Amino acid sequence: MRESVKHRLIGAAVLAAVAVLFLPSFFKDRQQYQVDTSSHIPGRPSITAVDFNEPEQPEGIEPAPAPETMFVPEDPPVSSLPDEKENAASPVVVSASSAVSLTSQSSSVSSITPPVDQVLPEGWVIQVASLSVQEGANKLRDQLQADGHRAYVRAVPLANTTIYRVFIGPKQNKAEATALKTQLDSRLKVNSLVLPFKP
């Protein structure tokens, strides 16, 4: 009988020791994981209604016209052409002296006007390239001459430097020069120009 009581006391002591060790940690964990369910939403703000007054037209300003009449001209357009009947009824009379003076003026104007042959260019040239180095221009000229073209170099002075333009020609008509320009652009990968020949 004493042995059983002794075993019970030992078991009770062990359980008490275990309870003392584990119960505080159990309650501590429950306290750490508690969720705060209280509301943090602020209260509804108080809004004061504002009344807006109707806009008033300032003094001294005339109201705008209606859209239908805004772009209508005030006065009807006046025709600047004279009456055809009046022109037909009043023929122009030219005196003999006036006719002579008009004839002399027309003859003087025709004498001042240059003939058509002087206005037209004497030929057409193709400007193949415009280079800043004379050696490169001379090399391109020699290459074109080796291909059978009448090529030449013309120096053009500018403000701070001199450029050297390589030409081919002149050709008698513009169509021939344009056809040659197309061939040169395709072969040399350039964008040449067809210009009137200036000796």
pLDDT for 186-197, tens place per residue?
Answer: 988 989 999 998
Class of domain 121-196: alpha beta
Q: pLDDT tens digits for 50-109?
A: 777 777 766 766 666 666 665 555 555 555 555 554 554 455 555 555 544 555 555 444
Q: What is the model's pTM? A: 0.40
| Domain boundaries along the sequence of the chain | 121-196
Q: In this structure, what token pair is assigned to residue 68?
A: 């239908």
d(CA 104, CA 87): 28
d(CA 158, CA 156): 6
Q: In this structure, what token pair is assigned to residue 43?
A: 């209260």
d(CA 159, CA 4): 127
User: Average pLDDT for residues 22-49, to the nearest whole number?
Assistant: 70
For residue 125, pLDDT beyond 80: yes
- Closest by Cα among 103, 82, 85, 106 to 94: 103
d(CA 199, CA 122): 9
- Closest by Cα among 143, 193, 188, 135 to 164: 135
The percent of residues in the chain predicted with pLDDT above 70, rounded, is 61
Q: Cα–Cα distances in Å, from 46 out to 43, 49, 50, 51?
A: 9, 10, 13, 16
- Closest by Cα among 95, 115, 157 to 132: 157
For residue 111, pLDDT beyond 50: no
